Structure 1
């Protein structure tokens, strides 16, 4: 059995910690998210593992046009773990002028909340990067745990 990548391994650990702390919808602007400010440090190792992987940074740049600083942490506007709620519909551009990276902390697909994107599923440590200027079409599933990383494009 192949060993897990650092990103996958940290995602699995973070998912368990996050799930134990998120209890209700708590985002002031996006009621379709359950977030926990207390969980921010639990997911920091996932953010660090993602930013340490030059291949991942290159793919995010290609997908979104983000130009990473010498220290990629300088591109981060915010990051937080989320649990998807069971709300379907269209969300107007959630992060105008920014890029959004969604990292699976556990397996997520449209049945447990992942929006309708070009990637239909994310395993722990998998990610998808999109422009924050695009609307998001939510599925009607919920319960999956992910990590949002919001990036400045330059």
Structure 2
């Protein structure tokens, strides 16, 4: 037995507009420069979509600020965090797994760099960007809170 093809008529609401194939071909194409911009979107709130208050994700700190050398970092494998201190008093959190094949980024032999000892990928401690492959993607940042000389994992409130 063969399959029968049939057309199901669609009901249009009073506000709907039906267009033919020829009419669709002549509709204006979206401007790539305006891609993603929504009419009436709030201006001047840079980072508002990302933003949000962070709170501690637990009462147990990952580390003490004294454990993180300036212009270097440390791996906290059980928490899957790397904490770096690019300059005195500035602490950043990163995912500890290399974006190449998921090995822990575990070496801080060169100042300013995080290294994966599995395949030699190198990442910048200030940004997580790849300095040397084979990794192609930067290490994702992970939120932290520094409070009273202790570093905690953080989450959005």
Q: Which has the higher contact order (CA 8 A, sep 6+)?
A: 1
TM-score computed with the length of structure 2 as normaliser: 0.26
Return the index of the structure with the highest Cα Rg. 2
TM-score computed with the length of structure 1 as normaliser: 0.27
Structure showing the higher helix proportion among its residues:
1
